[in-house]
Amino acid sequence: MSTPNPRRRRGAVLIAAALSMPLLATTVVPTAAAAGPAAPASVSDVLPAPRGLRATRDAAEPSTFVISWRAVPGDVHHYNVSVFSRGHDSVRMVGADTTSLKITGGDLSAIYRITVSSRDAAGAGTTSGPIWLWPAVASAPAQLKIVRDPGGTSMTATWGTPLRQGYTPVDHYEYTLTQLSRSAVVAEGTTTEGSLAIGDLDPQRQYVLKVRAVNQQGSGSTGVAVLGNDRPGAPPRATVTREESDPGTVVVSWVAPAYGGYAPIDHYEVFYGVGWLRASMSVPADQFTATVPLDSSRVGLVAVRACSAAGCGQLSTVTTVTAVVGVPTDQDTASTNPMVDVQEQDGTIRVEVNGVIGSTIRYPRLVVRILPTAENGGFTDTQWGQNGAQLLTFRTVPTGTYTVTVHGVTGSGSEVELARKLVIVGDAGLTVPADWKVVYGRATIGTNVVDMPNAGEHRVLSVRPRTSQDMVLTTTATLRYGWGYGIWFRAGLNANNKIDGYTFQYDPMFGNKFIIRIWNDGRECSVPLATSPFPRGFQENVAHLLTVVVQGDAVWATVDGAEMFRIDSLTRALSSVNCAGFKAPTGTGVGFRTWSTSSAVFENTTLS
């Protein structure tokens, strides 16, 4: 028996830690009295946005603040409180009887952009305009400037009062001067003035001056200035664009560095590559664009530096060039789009996008929807990502099986689905040994595992009582060796004690494809209803997370988050192939199958 995947817990998907922030503690403060249950709102009712939105810091502990708003009239089911900072849009869901939320453990240096949305039971409502909570510490000193004396052995720096002094006035400034090549601090201290002078410098070395304003809450944001040497400074980060007609070609553009050195810039060097900056090209000083080749299927890197008679300066910050296609590297977090991760842990759903909301011309906004895939009390929600977000979190989503979709929204308001993922919160649908029965061949059934260790035809079906033909199945399947395995859906035993149903089959012998077949009376149609090639980079004899969602006449199936099938009508699919005499199955069960030389194991299976 294979070892269960350590990244999976019972019935839920574990989170990858990419781009995570420390979670802020929250306290829900209910209103004095809560109204009783209201009658369901009509479709025509639109809840207004919450008004009177405020955010107030605690005088004794400024890292704590309270967000408050006025109650919205109507059939409010809950409110979504969106707190956005540094690419993370954290959405907390609070009850209809709540009009304030306490946030503790906040970052004193962060700017928080806050909105509150009303939501009815169907997840519809209206979002307030944003308010901002400014940092409790000061912003960076204004207009920080640094110059050398003509001999290059001393420097003078000046700056202005920060635009925002924070929760209390600025008391003094702290500074450090670091020699770049040795990363050595050559001067540090404090001053109450807006200037300082430092001597005994090496004319051929570069230095970095950092200055921060300090108030009672601590040190504020850092102002940074580079003191150049005889060579040009580093250009700002280059921008890159893949050619639409040829994604393997990348156009790089940049601007001149702020510091040109002691001699005029005579050319630029563009470095590029996959994995590291392995190639370079020279560009004249009056040219600020270049075209370089980069494999479209892999993440590329680009950087630029300026050169003069004194030599070449430092490289710009390396720019990452996103791959056009990619292979999800984590089956637990991957969605149908490799540029979007959807993750869940302990009822918190996290949506992470590779990019920044508001940064694309085609889809300036994203909308995330959480909809019940199976019976779970009907919880549903919708959240529009705040501009600048890379990470959206929803807390806390009730136990259940959900489909999370991410849509790009155009400037005209039309939506295009960018990604979707099935998410199971808690132990929803987790199967137990009593849910399974061997109907042909042999299999070992245990806690969280159905094992078919021996080669040959083996079939297992679910026996959990179900009335609906709609179903959601997830399982982690491993083919040890052989010709493949199948997942039964909409299956059951007929009057002849033979299986009628469909199979979603992993079939390396069928041209390295996934296929969907129909079965009547224990016999498969020789012609698949649909086929899909293995994803790029697919590994055959390792564990894969499979999902099958059947709703009405439609079926949706994924492998490690990558969409393999989205069939709108099984009826049409059956009529389009030569499966004469086969009738559409109507079973309510699921199961597993191996055949010929195959050995496979199925773990952590859920059925909703």
What's residue 410's pLDDT? Answer: 78
Which residues does 182 contact at the CB level (< 8 Å), separation at least 6?
none
What's residue 30's pLDDT? Answer: 40
227-242 pLDDT, tens per residue?
888 888 889 888 888 8
Asked if residue 601 has pLDDT above 60, the reply is: yes
Gap between the Cα atoms of 184 and 405, Å rounded: 49
**Is the domain 239-321 a CATH 2.60.40.10 member?**
yes
Where does 17-133 sit in CATH, by number? 2.60.40.10
Asked if residue 349 has pLDDT above 70, the reply is: yes
What's residue 38's pLDDT? Answer: 36
**Is the domain 340-425 a CATH 2.60.40.10 member?**
yes
Of the candidates 77, 76, 57, 59, the one whose C-alpha atom is nearest the C-alpha of residue 67 is: 57
Q: In percent, how much of the chain has pLDDT > 90?
A: 51
What number is the average pLDDT over the span 182-190?
Answer: 94
Q: Which of 181-185, 349-353, 554-558 has the lowest mean pLDDT?
A: 349-353
Q: Which of 149-153, 191-195, 333-337, 425-429 has the lowest mean pLDDT?
A: 333-337
Category of 300 on φ-ψ map: left (φ > 0), alpha (ψ -120 to 50) or beta: beta
What's residue 383's pLDDT? Answer: 81
What's residue 423's pLDDT? Answer: 84
549-584 pLDDT, tens per residue?
999 999 999 998 888 999 999 999 999 998 989 999
Asked if residue 10 has pLDDT above 60, the reply is: no
Asked if residue 476 has pLDDT above 50, the reply is: yes
Q: CATH fold of 433-607, please? A: Jelly Rolls (2.60.120)
Asked if residue 71 has pLDDT above 60, the reply is: yes
Domain boundaries, the chain: 17-133, 142-227, 239-321, 340-425, 433-607
What's residue 372's pLDDT? Answer: 81
535-552 pLDDT, tens per residue?
777 888 889 999 999 999
What's residue 239's pLDDT? Answer: 87
Taking the mean position of all CA atoms in its chain, how far away is CA 515?
Answer: 29
What's residue 360's pLDDT? Answer: 61
**17-133 shares its CATH topology with 239-321:** yes
Gap between the Cα atoms of 535 and 531, Å rounded: 12
Q: Which of 319-328, 404-413, 436-445, 490-499 has the lowest mean pLDDT?
A: 319-328
Where does 142-227 sit in CATH, by number? 2.60.40.10
